[in-house]
Amino acid sequence: MGQYTKEKQSEKKSLYNNEKRNLPIIVFDNVEKKYHNGVKAIKNLSFQIEEGEFVFLMGSSGAGKSTLIKLILLEETPTSGKIYVNAHNVSKIKKTQVQRYRRSIGVFFQDFRLLEKKTVFQNVAFAMEITGASKKEITEKVNITLSLMGLSGKKNDYPGQLSGGEQQRVALARAIVNGPDILIADEPTGNLDPENSAEIMSLLKMINAYGTTVLVATHEQQMAEEMGMRVIMLNHGHDISKEKIEENVTRKEEVTENQEQTTQIDSPDASNEPVQVEVPVSAINFNASSVADDKNQIVTDSETEVDKNA
Ligand SMILES: Nc1ncnc2c1ncn2[C@@H]1O[C@H](COP(=O)(O)OP(=O)(O)O)[C@@H](O)[C@H]1O
Ligand SMILES: [Mg+2]
């Protein structure tokens, strides 16, 4: 029995190593997150994101976007369900590996904090220093990244000397300087005017064009629509205040009106907090045809509990 398990594990390892690039980079398999106060922020949520995709995570405030991101970053653990990132079942990542895992994901928040007493260059370099990179490598990569972000001329300035948009670009440079597989942006344009927002979005697009998978959480529907990218929409149901229910109903009507080609997957669980996922039909077709086999491999290779949910 023990031997059998060992064989299975080594088989799994080689499968992941050899075929990693064919697997979706992020998989949520029937995930639920209930906080200690009883709030179910994520419920029965399943989706997958392919390597190299650019995906918007949409939903009004409180819909569960930041919770979803925290689950990916291992800042929260799911109450049930499975999450795979880069072919790893994240619940199995050892404590000693967590930092390394997190470094494979660049993160960019609305309320980013730059170190006020460090220059632009030093702020970005700092993200590399903690990885133990050499001075030469740091200088090289920081300079390239700052130039990509249009900040070469600002590298000796301090954050206080920069505009809001420039500060945001420094934060973006810091998020990508280690060459992450995935870039996650949580409300990246929340504090910016339309012009700076558009600039950040085009930088995210460029980063994606270089091969990084990008996941952007936003409540700004218009922004996601303008970009024309795939949308995953989170929507809480009945547990929120009357006002918010009305707001959600309005939003939902807008979505249906504006996106004729959107398919809605209602939560199969009939309790009072459904989470609905809306994705373009094209994305569903894509996933269903070319990726179903890979997903099954992940599922069967992990634990049988998943089959129960399938
Ligand atoms: N640490 C927490 N403890 C308890 N409830 C939380 C916590 N974080 C978020 N929530 C609740 O979970 C729900 C989803 O929040 P969040 O993920 O921040 O949504 P969003 O980012 O879409 O605004 C909200 O009802 C929020 O109040
Ligand atoms: Mg949030």
Instruction: Give all domains of the chain, ordered by start, each with its CATH number.
Output: 2-104+180-309 (3.40.50.300), 110-179 (no CATH)
Q: Where are the alpha helices (DSSP H) in 221-303?
A: 221-227, 242-258, 281-286, 292-301
For residues 248 and 168, the model is more confident at 168
pLDDT at 144 (0 to 100): 95
With CA atoms as reference, report the closest residue to 182 among 24, 4, 307, 298.
Answer: 24
**Quick one: tokens of 236?**
């809480």
Burial of 175-187, coded b for 16+ CB within 10 Å and e otherwise, reads bbbbebbbbbbbb
Note the pLDDT of residue 263.
33
- Strand positions, DSSP E, the chain: 26-34, 40-49, 54-58, 80-85, 88-89, 105-109, 182-186, 213-218, 230-233, 262-265, 277-280
pLDDT cut 90: percent of the chain above it: 53
pLDDT of res. 190 = 79
Question: Does residue 104 have a pLDDT over 80?
Answer: yes
Instruction: Tell me the best of 35, 218, 236, 272 to mutate to test the pocket of ligand 1, counting ligand atoms within 8 Å of each CB and taking the most.
Output: 35
Q: Is the pLDDT of residue 216 over 80?
A: yes
**Could you tell me what percent of the chain has a pLDDT over 70?**
69
Q: Any residues with Cβ below 6 Å from ligand 1, and which?
A: 35, 37, 39, 41, 59, 61-67
CA of 29 from ligand 1 middle (Å) equals 20
Does position 69 have pLDDT exceeding 80, yes or no? yes
pLDDT of residue 220: 87
C-alpha–C-alpha distance, residues 213 and 82, integer Å: 20
Nearest to 83, CA basis, from 25, 35, 38? 25
Residue 264 bridge partners (DSSP): 278
For residue 70, which atom of ligand 1 is closest to its CA?
17
Kindly give the distance from the C-alpha atom of residue 270 to the centroid of ligand 2, in angstroms, as a whole number.
25
Most confident of 90-104, 258-272, 275-289: 90-104
d(CA 67, CA 62): 9
pLDDT at 289 > cutoff 70: no
243 or 47, greater pLDDT: 47
pLDDT of 251 reads 52
Q: Are 78 and 33 spatial neighbours (Cβ–Cβ below 8 Å)? A: yes
Across 6-10, 13-17, 270-274, 298-302, least confident range: 298-302
Mean pLDDT, residues 29-54: 93
Ligand 1 atom closest to Cα of residue 60: 22
Tell me which of 33, 66, 69 to substitute to probe ligand 1's pocket, judged by most ligand atoms within 8 Å of the beta carbon. Answer: 66
More confident site: 131 or 278: 131
Indicate which ligand has the atom closest to the C-alpha of 185: 2
Give the pLDDT confidence score for residue 254 in this predicted structure.
54
DSSP letters of 57-84? Answer: EE-STTSSHHHHHHHHTTSS--SEEEEE
| Per-residue pLDDT at 285 | 26
- On the question of pLDDT at 16 being above 50, the answer is no
Question: Residue 264 Cα, ligand 2 centroid: separation in angstroms?
Answer: 22
Closest CA relative to residue 39, chosen from 74, 14, 64: 64
Q: What is the mean pLDDT of residues 115-127?
A: 96
Question: Residues 186-198: what's their mean pLDDT?
Answer: 86
Lowest mean pLDDT among 89-98, 207-216, 267-276: 267-276
Q: What is the pLDDT of residue 228?
A: 85
- Separation of CA 152 and ligand 2 centre (Å): 31
Pairwise CA distance, residues 256 & 271, whole Å? 24
Residue 113 to residue 167: CA distance in whole angstroms: 9
* Residues 124, 146 contacting (CB under 8 angstroms): yes
pLDDT > 60? residue 145: yes
